[in-house]
Amino acid sequence: ANDAASFGGEVTRLLSHPQEVKSAGEAAKRTIYRSWSTVVTEVGERYEDLCSRFHSSSRS
């Protein structure tokens, strides 16, 4: 929705499709939510990968 009228129309449509709203919310939770320990682990792994790539390229 790029304007107020489009946004309002989409809200009205969703009000008559509660199962679609519920499904979208559940999908968003699975996609967005990550625990802090998961984030720390992912960042650590990426950092280690970047460091090893940097050291490999600086030796060439």
What mean pLDDT do residues 32-47 have?
91
Beta-carbon contacts of 14 under 8 Å, excluding residues fewer than 6 positions away, are 20, 21
pLDDT of residue 60: 62
| Higher-scoring residue by pLDDT: 32, 12 | 12
Q: Domain coordinates of the chain in residue numbers?
A: 4-58
Q: 47-59 pLDDT, tens per residue? A: 999 999 998 887 7
In terms of phi and psi (left: phi > 0; alpha: psi -120 to 50; beta: otherwise), the region of 3 is beta
pLDDT of residue 48: 97
d(CA 1, CA 7): 5
pLDDT of residue 1: 64
